[in-house]
């Protein structure tokens, strides 16, 4: 039997800390690029109209450059065309407390939120590695499908008969 050699999936990340936006608003842009290839993600972010889009684009480009730099320094064979966005997260940073003047000498407090944006890119598995893993999984996949089919047939229940409706007595009025 041939043993499958599991290669470590290389991941490269970049961060932008203390960005002047709420994490909720940054997540709107980051959710657009999760799971996409790097080229598609760059195009998506470039044409987005959100205020955080240029910042996310800058972080994504930084992650790609980190992949190039590490591959050259360590002599790794990283194909930039084969990279995809593995994770894109906006974590909550510290909050800045501010005061808004209010009528009659009062003041209202509010908080400016900051976000830490983290983008991780990883290399997709090569075609050879995918085919090797696909050869090993058909037996287990066949077991799962037969088990699912058996449970579906057993799960069907007989139809419940409807109860006969009662007739209501009508009052007869005599004149």
Query: How high is the pLDDT of residue 1?
Result: 44
18: left (phi over 0), alpha (psi -120 to 50) or beta: left
Q: What is the pLDDT of residues 115-159, one digit of tens each?
A: 999 999 999 876 555 544 445 455 555 555 555 555 555 556 666
**SS3 category, 43:** helix
Q: In what order do the strands lie in the sheet with 11-19?
A: 11-19, 107-123, 83-101
Give the residue extent of every domain in the chain: 11-125
Query: How high is the pLDDT of residue 111?
Result: 97
Query: How high is the pLDDT of residue 20?
Result: 96
Predicted TM-score (pTM) of the model is 0.67
Residue 158: CB atoms within 10 A of its CB come to 5
Q: CA 116 to CA 21: how far, in whole Å?
A: 9
CATH dotted code for 11-125: 3.90.470.10
Query: How high is the pLDDT of residue 78?
Result: 86
Over residues 33-52, mean pLDDT:
96
């Amino acid at each position: 039997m041939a043993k499958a050699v599991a290669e470590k999936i290389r991941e490269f990340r970049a961060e932008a800390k203390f960005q002047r936006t709420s994490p909720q608003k940054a997540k709107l842009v980051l959710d657009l690029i999760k799971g996409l290839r790097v080229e598609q993600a760059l195009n998506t972010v470039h044409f987005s109209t959100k205020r955080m889009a240029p910042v996310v684009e800058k972080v994504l480009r930084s992650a790609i450059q980190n992949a190039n730099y590490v591959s050259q320094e360590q002599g790794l064979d990283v194909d930039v065309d084969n990279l995809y966005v593995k994770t894109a997260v906006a974590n909550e940073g510290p909050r800045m407390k501010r005061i808004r003047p209010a009528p009659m000498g009062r003041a209202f407090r509010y908080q400016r939120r900051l976000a830490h944006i983290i983008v991780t890119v990883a290399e997709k598995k090569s075609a050879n590695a995918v085919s090797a893993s696909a050869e090993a999984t058909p037996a287990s996949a066949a077991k799962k499908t037969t088990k699912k089919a058996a449970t579906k047939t057993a799960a069907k229940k007989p139809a419940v008969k409807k109860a006969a409706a009662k007739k209501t007595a009508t009052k007869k009025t005599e004149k």
